[in-house]
């Protein structure tokens, strides 16, 4: 499927009728209609268009399906610049649109690294030119992700970086992390940590435990994540800086964040769908498409992630979309690259928690809409008059089978290939323009 170019024509007025309106922030869940005008939501509610639809608007019958804010993914690797053979802003945004993700935050571990103003401006310019969805860059904490010299955080923030992270590499030096947290406080911006003690990880390629032992693979202990999280929480106590744990995955680290929140510390975290629906047994017979960092953990930790999502310890669901070509994955476990794609499967995989009765639909959607928007201080992620018209229509009960070969992402490295799921995005709107329609929608 060719990657479409963004439509820059003025958006039309659009009337969505026969919809199940859901706004996770306000708790709205009702039958009704919604009107967009230009780039914003003009009106919505159960009595809108009771008499007749507006004559000057395109009318879309939602067929009783959910109409809600577009999803927000705060952890995406778009690979541009430097690794365009794996993904580009254009192809990644197309994958996002198909999956119902209208806003993505892209990570700075590109080549060159997003560690100066020129690279932030490059991402913004390329997004304007090629992206179907909204793309915001995170900037690096340290130059070149080397963990030694801090970036010019103030200038990067002024240029439009939403947060700071060395994702893919932990900020291992305690003094550097302390200074980053202290300095970022001046801008009230978040420092997101890839929590991994590399000396404990060593040459490990999956979670330490019975499965790794049976497969004869070097394991990564849960403590690799925990010790960094606990250290950083102590640094938050010293500095008062906003601290965020990316793709949290272990029961112990989740509990450490829970205790920090109870003490009133500005500590937040996110979890990836693969960490709450899969455990280390998914590695099976050396399945490299199930190799990621952090690795798939034990069943105990998988259940702890679900509990963290339910009790509010975990603030957001984010995919850690990490595209890799076949040559990077179809090798031995020790040599295979870490990471999986997730933009096109974020919604159906997350809906498994809803269909299993673990989490209600509104709180589940909140983890992918207004709550990540709040973390990044974005106006998206909610149904409000005057809010951006970033919307999706999805059928939560539509059964289908994931086929990675049909992904529009350049890379197909998914552990969910051939998985039967329920729930599919049918339509995606960004700034009042429809950027994706499922066939027949």
Tell me, what DSSP letter sits at residue 392?
E
- Of 320, 390, 395, 431, which is the active-site residue? 320
Contacts of residue 265, Cβ cutoff 8 Å, sequence gap at least 6: 233, 236, 237, 243
* Active-site annotation holds for 115: no
Give, rounded to a whole angstrom, the gap between the first and last alpha carbons of the chain: 18
The structure tokens listed for 274 are: 């693969």
Peptide bond into 323 cis (omega under 30): no
Name the phi and psi angles at 304, rounded to 5: -65, -35
Asked whether 367 and 309 are in contact (CB, 8 A), the reply is: yes
Sheet bearing 164-165, strands edge to edge: 164-165, 190-193, 242-245, 267-271, 316-317
Asked whether 96 and 132 are in contact (CB, 8 A), the reply is: yes
Residue 121 neighbours by CB distance under 10 Å: 13
Asked whether 173 and 148 are in contact (CB, 8 A), the reply is: yes
Cα separations in angstroms, 211 against 162, 277, 284: 39, 17, 8
Return the bridge partners of 43, or none: 35
The structure tokens listed for 18 are: 């026969």
What does the chain come to in residues? 441
**Sign of the dihedral defined by the CA atoms of residues 157, 242, 171, 295, in that order:** negative
Cα–Cα distance measured from residue 420 to residue 151, given in angstroms and rounded to the nearest whole number: 44
- Half-sphere CA count of 386, side-chain side, radius 13 A: 0
Peptide bond into 81 cis (omega under 30): yes
Asked whether 32 and 77 are in contact (CB, 8 A), the reply is: no
Asked whether 67 and 393 are in contact (CB, 8 A), the reply is: yes
Rg (CA), the chain: 21
- Positions marked catalytic: 320
């Amino acid at each position: 499927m060719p990657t479409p170019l963004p439509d820059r024509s003025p958006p039309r007025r659009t009337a969505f009728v026969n919809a199940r309106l859901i706004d996770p922030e306000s708790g709205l869940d009702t039958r009704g209609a919604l009107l967009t005008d230009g780039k914003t939501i003009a009106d919505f509610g159960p009595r809108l268009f009771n008499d007749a639809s507006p004559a000057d608007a395109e009318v879309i019958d939602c067929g009783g399906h959910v109409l809600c804010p577009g999803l927000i993914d705060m952890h995406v690797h778009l690979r541009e610049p430097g690794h365009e053979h794996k993904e580009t802003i254009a192809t990644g945004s197309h994958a996002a649109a198909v999956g119902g993700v209208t806003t993505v935050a892209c990570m700075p571990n590109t080549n060159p690294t997003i560690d100066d103003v020129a690279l932030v401006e490059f991402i913004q310019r390329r997004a304007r030119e090629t992206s179907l969805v909204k793309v915001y860059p995170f900037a690096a904490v340290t130059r070149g992700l080397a963990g030694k010299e801090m970036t010019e955080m103030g200038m990067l923030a002024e240029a439009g970086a939403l947060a700071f992270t060395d994702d893919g590499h932990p900020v291992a030096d305690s003094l550097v992390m302390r200074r980053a947290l202290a300095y970022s406080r001046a801008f009230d911006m978040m420092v997101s940590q890839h929590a991994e003690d590399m000396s404990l990880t060593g040459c490990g390629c999956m979670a330490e435990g019975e499965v790794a032992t049976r497969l004869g693979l070097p394991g990564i202990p849960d403590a690799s994540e925990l010790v960094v999280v606990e250290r950083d929480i102590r640094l938050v106590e010293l500095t008062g800086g906003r601290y965020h744990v990316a793709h949290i995955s272990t029961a112990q680290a989740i509990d450490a964040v829970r205790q920090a929140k109870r003490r009133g510390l500005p500590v937040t975290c996110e979890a990836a769908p693969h960490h709450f629906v899969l455990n280390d047994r998914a590695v099976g017979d050396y399945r490299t498409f199930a190799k990621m960092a952090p690795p798939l953990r034990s069943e105990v930790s998988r259940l702890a992630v679900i509990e963290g999502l339910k009790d509010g310890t975990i603030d957001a669901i984010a995919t850690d979309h990490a595209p890799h070509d076949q040559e990077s994955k179809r090798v031995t476990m020790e040599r295979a690259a870490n990471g999986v794609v997730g933009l096109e499967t974020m919604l159906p995989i997350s809906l498994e928690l809803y269909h299993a009765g673990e989490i209600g639909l509104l709180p589940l959607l909140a983890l992918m809409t207004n709550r990540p928007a709040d973390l990044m201080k974005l106006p998206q992620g909610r149904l409000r008059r005057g809010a951006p018209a970033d919307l999706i229509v999805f059928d939560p009960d539509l059964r289908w089978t994931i086929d990675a070969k049909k992904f529009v992402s350049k890379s197909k490295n998914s552990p969910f290939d051939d998985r039967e799921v329920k729930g599919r995005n049918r339509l995606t709107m960004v700034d009042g323009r429809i950027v994706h329609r499922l066939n027949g929608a």
